[in-house]
Amino acid sequence: MSQTENEIAADVTGELIDTEEGEDLAVGKVSAIAERPTGDERLAANQRSLSRYLALPFIFLTVALLGGLRLSGIDSSFVFLKPPLLCLVFASIMLALFFRARLIRLDGWFAEDFSILKNLCNGAVIATLFAATTQLFNSLIPEQGLPYWIVGFCFFWTLWNNLFADFDTKTLLPSLGGLFGLAFVVKYLVLSNLAAPAGRSWFERLTENPGQEAFTWLLDLPRFAPGTAYIQFFTVAVYLIGLFLLPASTRASDKSYEV
């Protein structure tokens, strides 16, 4: 092959290489454009972030505030009761149940490939969920006396059995709704009606309704204003709404787990 033919072959080879590199570059640009989120996708991502890091903490902190709120039976003044240690234990079991039933995916909320800020923000949301769950049990469990131990044992028995049951997200939420609804009925419709009204002397309560006075003394029932039941009904409803809005995963690729 002569020198001229070698130069022509080199030129042809160079053109082929340049063409292939151009095609690869074009394919890469097309893929980048295809993977780039559109305006609607960015808007949906921003809405999910607002719901996850603003709305959910606000909901759970509202539950944490109202869960310990009571109205005094004497003058309807605000009384804030701190949660007993049993409520913290129940909240821990409840969070374990959430993870086991896949209502919350641990790898979808905390991961090494997440930024530090995202892990911290996700941890803050889970912390508000724990606080709200603690105060929810504070709202539903009687404050003192024999009903406190009976209802507390029923909660412990139910939650402990649910830890080893085959639960999924669709069956967990209705089960929790039924459990919380039954506890609300027992405390605010049954026990509250057995308690004698406050603001009267012992002799007046005994002569007007000796049965209520006897149940109040035997069961050591607290005397709260009827408005307490309305506040706690709102608290339970807001907590269940927060659980419904809680995404199982915060990964953008796990769209099937996001609300």
Amino acid present at 68: G
Average pLDDT, the chain: 77
Asked if pLDDT for residue 2 goes beyond 70, the answer is no
105 DSSP assignment: -
Q: What is the pLDDT of residue 244?
A: 87
129 or 145: which leads in pLDDT: 129
Q: Could you give the 3-state DSSP secondary structure of residue 180?
A: helix
Would you tell me the crossing angle of helices 85-100 and 145-163 to the nearest 10 degrees?
20
160 or 33: which leads in pLDDT: 160
User: In the chain, how many H helices and how many E strands?
Assistant: 12, 2
Q: Could you give the 3-state DSSP secondary structure of residue 103?
A: coil
Q: What is the pLDDT of residue 165?
A: 77
Tens of pLDDT, residues 118-135: 889 999 999 999 999 999
Task: Output Rg (C-alpha) for the chain, integer angstroms.
Answer: 30
Q: Are 125 and 110 in contact (CB under 8 A)?
A: no
- Tracing tokens 């969920």 back to the chain, one arrives at 129
Tens of pLDDT, residues 150-164: 999 999 998 888 888
198 φ, ψ (degrees, to nearest 5) = -90, 170
- Provide the percentage of residues in the chain whose pLDDT is more than 70: 68
Within a 10 A sphere around the Cβ of 208, how many other Cβ atoms? 12
Tens of pLDDT, residues 10-26: 454 444 444 455 555 44
Return the closest-CA partner of residue 196 out of 179, 209, 185: 209
> Which of 5-9, 80-84, 176-180 is least confident?
5-9
Burial (CB count within 10 angstroms: exposed 0-12, middle 13-18, buried 19+), residue 206: middle
Asked if pLDDT for residue 48 goes beyond 60, the answer is yes
Asked if pLDDT for residue 239 goes beyond 90, the answer is yes
Within a 10 A sphere around the Cβ of 151, how many other Cβ atoms? 19
- Please tell me the distance from the alpha carbon of residue 20 to that of residue 23, in angstroms, as a whole number: 5
- Please tell me the distance from the alpha carbon of residue 237 to that of residue 235, in angstroms, as a whole number: 5
Amino acid present at 111: A
**pTM for the model:** 0.74
- Please tell me the distance from the alpha carbon of residue 71 to that of residue 78, in angstroms, as a whole number: 5
Tens of pLDDT, residues 199-236: 555 555 556 555 656 656 666 777 788 888 899 999 99
Return the closest-CA partner of residue 245 out of 33, 58, 89: 58
Q: What is the pLDDT of residue 207?
A: 60
